[in-house]
Amino acid sequence: METGVVTVKGQVVIPSKIRHRHNIKKGTRVCFVEKGDEIVLMPVTDEYIDKMKGSLHTKGAVLKELREEKKREREL
């Protein structure tokens, strides 16, 4: 188990082993999911987007928007 400390600004450093394992790099967008008393941090990667495909029943509209947003982020 890896641990970290929350800063005054609410920031947390993700340990490097975890970043490498989940392909989290500078600029990777993350989402926070509350599950009861837990907070789960999920990197918004292509794999995550593919996993979520169809779960919102929007006929691909959300998937298309997420992919376009990731493309814009890569161009920065």
- Containing structural domain, residue 63: 26-75
Residues 68 and 27: their CA atoms lie apart, in Å, by: 15
Q: Does any domain span residue 58? A: yes
Number of separate domains in the chain = 1
Q: Does any domain span residue 12? A: no
Q: Does any domain span residue 8? A: no
Residues 30 and 19: their CA atoms lie apart, in Å, by: 12
Q: Does any domain span residue 2? A: no
Contact 29, 42 (CB under 8 A): no
Could you tell me which of 47, 75, 40 has the C-alpha nearest to residue 63?
Answer: 47
pLDDT at 72: 81
pLDDT single digits (tens) 13-68 = 999 999 999 888 888 888 888 889 999 888 887 777 777 666 656 666 767 777 78
- Give the chain's radius of gyration (CA, Å): 14
Q: Does any domain span residue 20? A: no
Q: Does any domain span residue 45? A: yes
